[in-house]
Amino acid sequence: MPLAPTIQQTIDTWLTPDYDAQTQLAIREMVANGHEEALTDAFYRTLEFGTGGLRGVMGPGSNRMNRYTLGMATQGLCNYLIQSFPGQEIKVAIAHDSRNNSAEFAQIAAGIFSANGIIVYLFDALRPTPELSFTIRELGCQSGCVITASHNPKEYNGYKVYWNDGAQVVAPHDKNIIAEVTKITSVGDVKFDADRSKIISIGRDLDARYFARAEQLSIDPAAIKRQHDLKIVYTPIHGSGITLVPGLLEAFGFTNVSIVDAQATPDGNFPTVQSPNPEEQSAMQLALDQAQAQDADIVLATDPDADRVGVGVKNDKGEWVLLNGNQTAALLTYYLLSARHRAGQATSRDFIVYTIVTSEILGDIARGHNVKSYQTLTGFKYIAGLIRDLEGKETYIGGGEESYGFLIGDFVRDKDAVSACALVAEMAAVAKDQGRTLYQEMVQMYAQYGLYVEDLISLTKKGQRGAEEIQEMMAELRANPPATIAGLKVVEIRDYKTGRIHDLRTGLATDTGLESSNVLQFITEDGSKISARPSGTEPKIKFYFSVKQPLKSAVDFDLATGLAQEKIQAIIADMKLQ
């Protein structure tokens, strides 16, 4: 099957002397071996900024992560920065994680920034994403980037771009940067020749500054002092968390932290896991086994760039179980608001934030403490944007999303698993100080606010056809929305793409109050929430399920959980998603 003319034209461009010999050789081998599908996937489009920036499989091609796609994105960013800050000395900060080629990509990006006359603060070794966000504001930078593909498999790498508020770029900056990138007609337009005089190495000094701010997040240091020997097992899953998490736990006062040795060394091949994702049981198994052997109190984990936190706890049967992102976010919100109240730190200006696909219990907890809550679109950049908009007017306490991201305090403007690890440990210490486990604390929370149970299905649709299938699925849901789901009447449809909420009981339509995003939500008569959302960073469409089950007392937790899970399975079966 012949390649599409546009794809062939792009391939021909990549076979010119503007591209290095190794890249050309790899492309010629694919052509010679008749790998049309691979060539189509590598060249049918140019990598675009999504909710997490630039991200893709590493290799040659316009739809791959390599020095040229990175270079064009960086040059486009340089051009936009120069336009946006005329006459100013422009500064950027750069960090990278443990992935293969991350250090090299960081050097390439630094070289391009410097060649454009921009001052570069380049970390001397791998560092977590939240420290990069902190550094941008701490050093007064206009922008910054971190080379990472977060929790994706080893074949991936990426490029998260940040603005001067320390948050990932949002509209209009994201689209404007892409517009500048598309103006670059060849890699010859990219200034690869570095000006080393403009590249400044940074490291331990910024670590110390980050620690100084993070230590202030502790609410109950007295409980930690009494429970300093809380048995903690931590794994960085071969990532950058090893540079900060153990040190911050020590700074908080914890003296009994056991690291999973087999996963302690940064390694972009992630040799002990299929995917370095703390959401997955397989990635956490070594830590859980170590916790079982050591009779630990808690398991903590971070993904390669340490912006997602994984938590393992022991249930009342003595079994180690993993908390999902909703449970961790709910527990942290529950602890922050109750502990601040007990410590006399709560104010009438306090607020928390969570995304539209995150458990509604976060809003219930906030209302229970007379604290304002806000909802945003999916993506932590929207939470950061709200923090920025309310700065000086209201006080941000914490915020999270179901995908294992949480941020305490506002000195970082992206999800921060480093500080989250420390606060989860403090939360466990406070619970133990009161004679409870963290698991029992969670059950008590649900008994107070009602049991929410969530699940998620991700359908992977790779390549050009996969992207089309995802759009077709969303179009079908909009054209023919379900009247009932698992026997439950759909009473409300929230279409965040059109920005309209349709109440099917009254026929009235209202605005979402949020910017456009390709997300659909169906609310049933019993309050269940089903969300459909194409991923902004991966070739997936995600379906989120949330149901609320009455829970009269903690002793009914297992029974109520089982009933809620049965309801979710009925919804999934009715929607034919498995």
According to DSSP, the β-strands at 143-147 and 91-96 are parallel
Sign of CA dihedral 526, 528, 532, 536: positive
What is the residue whose two structure tokens read 């109750």? Answer: 338
b/e map 77-88, b = 16+ CB within 10 Å:
bbbbbbebeeee
Going by the DSSP 8-state scheme, the letter that residue 243 receives in this structure is: G
Sign of CA dihedral 288, 426, 412, 197: negative
And the tokens for 531? 């969300």
List 150, 338, 517, 528, catalytic entry: 150
95 three-class SS: strand
- Show the beta-strand stretches assigned E in 32-168: 54-57, 91-96, 119-123, 143-147, 156-163
Q: Which of 364, 396, 361, 404 is nearest to 380 (CA)?
A: 404
Residue 117 zone, left/alpha/beta (φ > 0; ψ -120 to 50; rest): left
**Rounded to 5 degrees, what are φ and ψ at 226?**
-75, -30
Q: Which of 117, 106, 198 is nearest to 160 (CA)?
A: 106
348 given a catalytic annotation: no
The HSE-up count of residue 324 (CA atoms within 13 Å, CB side) is 12
In order of 214, 318, 367, 432, 461, the CA distances from 227 in angstroms are 20, 21, 31, 8, 48
The answer to whether the CB of 55 falls within 8 A of the CB of 475 is no
Determine the distance from the C-alpha atom of residue 350 to the mean position of all C-alpha atoms in its chain, rounded to a whole number. 24
Q: Which of 111, 71, 90, 70 is nearest to 164 (CA)?
A: 90
In order of 13, 371, 498, 533, the CA distances from 509 in angstroms are 50, 28, 11, 21
The answer to whether the CB of 417 falls within 8 A of the CB of 130 is yes
* C-beta pairs of 345-350 under 8 Å, 24+ apart in sequence: 345/219, 346/371, 347/395, 349/393, 349/394, 349/395, 350/394, 350/395, 350/397
Round to whole Å and give the CA distance between 174 and 195.
26
Helix (H) / strand (E) element for 177: namely helix 173-182
Determine the distance from the C-alpha atom of residue 235 to the mean position of all C-alpha atoms in its chain, rounded to a whole number. 18
Known catalytic residues?
A: 150
